[in-house]
Amino acid sequence: MPDLIKIVREQAASTEQLLQQIKLRQSPSGYYDELLSFLLSLCKHVNDEVEKVSTIVQGGPRLPVEGEAAAKELKVVFYSHVLGEIHSHCESFDHAEQLTIPIPMMQFLNRLGKDIGYQKPFILRGMLLFNYMYHPIGRYLNALAASVSSTIELIDPHFATFSFPLANSQDLLVNCALVHEFGHLAVDTAGLINVINQNPQVVTKVTKIVREHASKKVSTELEIMTKINKINDVLISWTHEVLADLVGIELLGPAHLFSFIYLITPSGSHQRDDPEHPCDSYRLKLMINAIGKFGWEETMKEAPAAWEIAQSLSQLERERDLDFRFDAAAECLPILEPTLFEIASTFCSDAIYSPSTFELYKRQMFALLARGIPPSEMLDAGAKEFRQFDAASILNAGWLCYEKGFPGWDEQFSSLTAVERKQLLNRLLTKAIELSFVKEAESAIATGG
Amino acid sequence: MSVLSPKELRARIYLEDPQDSKRIFIVPAPSFVDIKNDSIDLFLGNHFIVTKSARFSALEARSDYAKKDVETTGVEKNVASYQEKVLVPFEGQLVIHPGSLILGVTWQYIGLPKDIHAQVVARSTWGRAGLTVATAVVVHPGFVGCLTLELVNNGNAPITLYPGARVAQIVFMTVEPTDTSDTVSVSKYCGMTEPAFTKLHEEAAELERWKKIGESVSFKKKG
């Protein structure tokens, strides 16, 4: 039988070695360093704990053993699990070279955090799975650390990873979808889901519906309660999704909706719910409402094809009877809608991106893009200083340029294919956002900020 | 052809309308008061291509002629295997060793109107340290993009490069206006914001033509 302690000790050493190797690389932001230091510290503590156990459990392979030694050996098995978890988080750094991570998007998300007053650490994680995802890893890692040692310095409990498909690493336009993932972080950080429970009228109505659905085909209170819990889990996940969508529209406007349409269009299941997400058609309906509420309808109409797709998909009826939880949650969500809208707008109030800002810059940005110039700055009449555009406006101008079929490019970039045009557009937007953040930093330094 | 004076440069750069056919784009624009000379300083960007030890005998553009229909040619593969893209943060640095080549890029994005031609020249401060900054000095009318800088250390000591360093300057000259679509198609590197790998393989057809001419005039059998 193999020596358990020896194996775990070796596992700890190789994991630490891997982390040390990662440390030698250049990370895209301080948040990556923060996570890495935490993992390294956790790994070292695991190593120390295993050493302590090895002094108690002497001798070779003896599983099962009795008494304290057995308990300690069980602990060692747990340490092996912790090391496995650390190892899986190392994957976050695998594709985290500065050239793989969409750094301007990362800067933009960080800026959004500042704007709404909830600046929390996050990292972007390129992955092979073609999906965008939010993982709130902070609390989980802290719980893991606390179970190893009470002396480990914990990480920010809101630390998150936002995953994106590696194939999209240079596609700034599609990566606007990351604002939705940022929305999840904001919803978690601000505890917005709990806010819903503070409206007794809404809670009463929702509770009634949930109980009605849960009572179908079962009779004992235990069975009903089990079903209620299952429905509530779905309802919480869906509410999270809807709030993240609304935060996305409020902070980024149409660009957020464009990226959503772009990503869901190839999918053939717009009417299908899943435990984490209400169906696309429902989400679209709410985002379209938000677009109207914040005055973006005219802007959307400038991209008639996308606007039409959004509207027609939003009118599709969701598939019923897939799962009792989905039917119940789908009946509850419309009751929650007004509260969700209110919560999202109150939450983002100081940072809501408005059409008035965009309208101010729009003509200049389109004219610059038409000439193949990054839309980063404009000159007011008679001014001796250029004015910088903000990142949200740059992204919205980019999406409209794309949706309108690259106006003005036929003469200048006639030799480029449609794919090459989109790549060029992404380069121009990336450059514009880089310039925008650098200019902002320059101004802050000049004013002593 | 005449070099634009500071006054003419200010008039061309500080135009409100992006569609104005006379406008020169330097993004970010130099501040109005800083345009005092007939040249504009160019800052080093933070994207680089560094070279590694080659694992092939030579970069041979002509040998790829037969593979012109293949998506990735041998030259492209060779270039990719010995060059590596690097992003250096603005607070960082990159050392260029004697005799080595690094491709850099200007921080500024340049857009030239149809009647302007530009030339990039090194700033003597860096030249005297042994750094050659630009070998492809001509910027054609209608060009848009960040300029790739071919950085070579001709000195005997390593030189540290910093993103944001004023390594070169650009001088603008008026020329007879040309058709933009023609001029843009001349450059393979338009609209780039990072240094681009060499597209040496695109020279293959032309070199093959010369090879055939050579074989014809020297009565050699085709090899």
Asked whether A94 and A36 are in contact (CB, 8 A), the reply is: no
Chain A interface disruption, residue of B23, B50, B112, B144, most A CBs within 10 A: B144
User: Hey, which bits of A151-310 come out as E strands?
Assistant: 160-165
Write out pLDDT tens, residues A72-131: 778 889 999 999 999 999 888 877 776 788 999 999 999 999 999 889 999 999 988 899
Please give the pLDDT value at position A181: 97
Q: Please state, as a whole number, how many other Cβ atoms lie within 10 Å of the Cβ of residue B176.
A: 9
3-state SS track over B150-195? EEEECCCCCEEECCCCEEEEEEEEECCCCCHHHHHHHCCCCCCCCC
3-state SS track over A336-385? HHHHHHHHHHHHHHHHCCCHHHHHHHHHHHHHHHHCCCCCCEEECCCCCC
Q: Does A364 touch chain B (CB under 8 A)?
A: yes
∠ CA A332-A337-A340, rounded to 5°:
115
Q: pLDDT class for B66, splitting at 50, 70, 90?
A: low
Q: pLDDT class for A314, splitting at 50, 70, 90?
A: very high
Average pLDDT of the residues of chain B = 85
Q: Please state, as a whole number, how many other Cβ atoms lie within 10 Å of the Cβ of residue A181.
A: 23
Region A313-327 average pLDDT: 91
Q: pLDDT class for A414, splitting at 50, 70, 90?
A: confident
Q: Does A371 touch chain B (CB under 8 A)?
A: yes
List chain A residues with CB under 8 Å of B190: 372, 413
| Cβ burial, residue A197 (10 Å; 0-12/13-18/19+) | exposed
Asked whether B35 and B9 are in contact (CB, 8 A), the reply is: yes
> Coil, helix or strand for B136?
coil
Q: Does A421 touch chain B (CB under 8 A)?
A: no
**Percentage of residues in chain B with pLDDT exceeding 90?**
54
Please give the pLDDT value at position A93: 85
**Contact at CB, B16 and A413, closer than 8 angstroms:** no
* Distance separating alpha carbons of residues A374 and A378, to the nearest angstrom: 11
Q: Does A324 touch chain B (CB under 8 A)?
A: no
Asked whether A281 and A319 are in contact (CB, 8 A), the reply is: no
> Coil, helix or strand for A273?
coil
Please give the pLDDT value at position A1: 44
Please give the pLDDT value at position A331: 93
Question: Would you say residue B122 has pLDDT above 60?
Answer: yes
Write out pLDDT tens, residues A177-187: 999 999 999 99
∠ CA A356-A360-A361, rounded to 5°:
125
Chain A: closest CA distance from residue B98 (Å): 25
**ipTM for the assembly:** 0.86
Of B150, B202, B203, B208, catalytic: B150
**Contact at CB, B28 and A371, closer than 8 angstroms:** no
List chain B residues with CB under 8 Å of A431: 27, 109, 146, 193
Q: pLDDT class for A2, splitting at 50, 70, 90?
A: low
Chain A: closest CA distance from residue B222 (Å): 34
Nearest CA-CA partner of A164 in A113, A85, A96: A96
Cα–Cα distances in Å, from B172 out to A440, B38, B113, B117, B132? 29, 8, 11, 6, 20
How is the beta sheet containing B116-122 ordered, strand by strand?
B39-43, B166-174, B116-122, B138-139
Region B55-68 average pLDDT: 67
**Contact at CB, A373 and B25, closer than 8 angstroms:** yes
Of the ranges A16-20, A431-435, B205-209, which one carries the lowest mean pLDDT score? B205-209
Checking phi first, is residue A213 left (phi over 0); if not, alpha (psi -120 to 50) or beta? alpha
Please give the pLDDT value at position A52: 83
Please give the pLDDT value at position B183: 45
Q: Does A44 touch chain B (CB under 8 A)?
A: no
> Coil, helix or strand for B55?
coil
Region A28-34 average pLDDT: 92
Please give the pLDDT value at position A393: 97
Region A228-241 average pLDDT: 94
Q: Which amino acid is at B93?
A: Q
Cα–Cα distances in Å, from B97 out to A110, B53, B155, B160, B165? 37, 13, 9, 9, 17
Chain B: closest CA distance from residue A274 (Å): 40
Chain A: closest CA distance from residue B205 (Å): 19
Q: Radius of gyration over alpha carbons of chain A, in Å?
A: 25
Nearest CB partner across the interface for B28, out of A371, A414, A439: A439
List chain A residues with CB under 8 Å of B32: 384-385
* Distance separating alpha carbons of residues B179 and B85, to the nearest angstrom: 34
DSSP bridge pairs for B132 = B152
Q: Does A280 touch chain B (CB under 8 A)?
A: no
Chain B: closest CA distance from residue A368 (Å): 6
**Contact at CB, A386 and B28, closer than 8 angstroms:** yes
**Contact at CB, B193 and A428, closer than 8 angstroms:** yes
Please give the pLDDT value at position B184: 47
Diameter over CA atoms, chain A? 87
Average pLDDT of the residues of chain A = 91
Q: pLDDT class for B42, splitting at 50, 70, 90?
A: very high
List chain A residues with CB under 8 Å of B19: 367, 370-371
* Distance separating alpha carbons of residues B50 and B86, to the nearest angstrom: 7
Q: Does A142 touch chain B (CB under 8 A)?
A: no
Asked whether A243 and A344 are in contact (CB, 8 A), the reply is: yes
* Distance separating alpha carbons of residues B14 and A120, to the nearest angstrom: 40
**Contact at CB, A372 and B111, closer than 8 angstroms:** yes
Please give the pLDDT value at position B221: 61
Q: Which residue has the tokens 């991106």?
A: A353
**Contact at CB, B14 and A384, closer than 8 angstroms:** yes
Give the global pTM.
Answer: 0.90
| Cβ burial, residue A345 (10 Å; 0-12/13-18/19+) | middle
Question: Would you say residue A230 has pLDDT above 60?
Answer: yes
Q: Does A70 touch chain B (CB under 8 A)?
A: no
Write out pLDDT tens, residues A348-373: 888 999 999 899 999 999 999 999 99
Is B150 assigned a catalytic role? yes
**Percentage of residues in chain A with pLDDT exceeding 90?**
71
**Contact at CB, A412 and B142, closer than 8 angstroms:** yes
Please give the pLDDT value at position A419: 93
List chain A residues with CB under 8 Å of B87: 98-99, 103
Asked whether B113 and B22 are in contact (CB, 8 A), the reply is: yes
Question: Would you say residue A68 has pLDDT above 80?
Answer: no
The number of C-alpha atoms within 13 Å of A143 and in the hemisphere containing its C-beta is: 7
Least CA distance to A375: which residue of chain B? Answer: B27
Q: Which residue has the higher pLDDT, A167 or A412?
A: A167
| Cβ burial, residue B175 (10 Å; 0-12/13-18/19+) | middle
Please give the pLDDT value at position A317: 92
Asked whether B168 and B133 are in contact (CB, 8 A), the reply is: yes
Region B118-144 average pLDDT: 88
* Distance separating alpha carbons of residues A284 and A259, to the nearest angstrom: 12
List chain A residues with CB under 8 Å of B163: none
The number of C-alpha atoms within 13 Å of B127 and in the hemisphere containing its C-beta is: 9
Length of chain A, in residues: 449
Chain B: closest CA distance from residue A102 (Å): 12
List chain B residues with CB under 8 Å of A384: 14, 32-33
Q: Please state, as a whole number, how many other Cβ atoms lie within 10 Å of the Cβ of residue A406.
A: 20
Write out pLDDT tens, residues A118-152: 899 999 999 888 999 999 999 999 999 999 999 99
* Distance separating alpha carbons of residues A152 and A386, to the nearest angstrom: 50
Asked whether A367 and B18 are in contact (CB, 8 A), the reply is: yes
> Domains of chain A: which residue ranges?
2-178, 191-347, 355-447
Least CA distance to B113: which residue of chain A? Answer: A371
CB pairs under 8 A between A and B: 84
Question: Would you say residue B68 has pLDDT above 60?
Answer: no
Nearest CB partner across the interface for A373, out of B31, B109, B194: B109
**Contact at CB, B28 and A427, closer than 8 angstroms:** no
Least CA distance to B19: which residue of chain A? Answer: A367
| Cβ burial, residue A54 (10 Å; 0-12/13-18/19+) | middle
Please give the pLDDT value at position A354: 92
Please give the pLDDT value at position B24: 97
Say what angle helices A67-94 and A137-148 make with each other, to 10 degrees: 150
Pairing relation of β-strands A160-165 and A122-127? parallel
Please give the pLDDT value at position B181: 46
**Structural element, H or E, at residue B214:** helix B204-217
Q: Which residue has the tokens 């889990």?
A: A233
**Contact at CB, A99 and B29, closer than 8 angstroms:** no
Please give the pLDDT value at position A286: 97
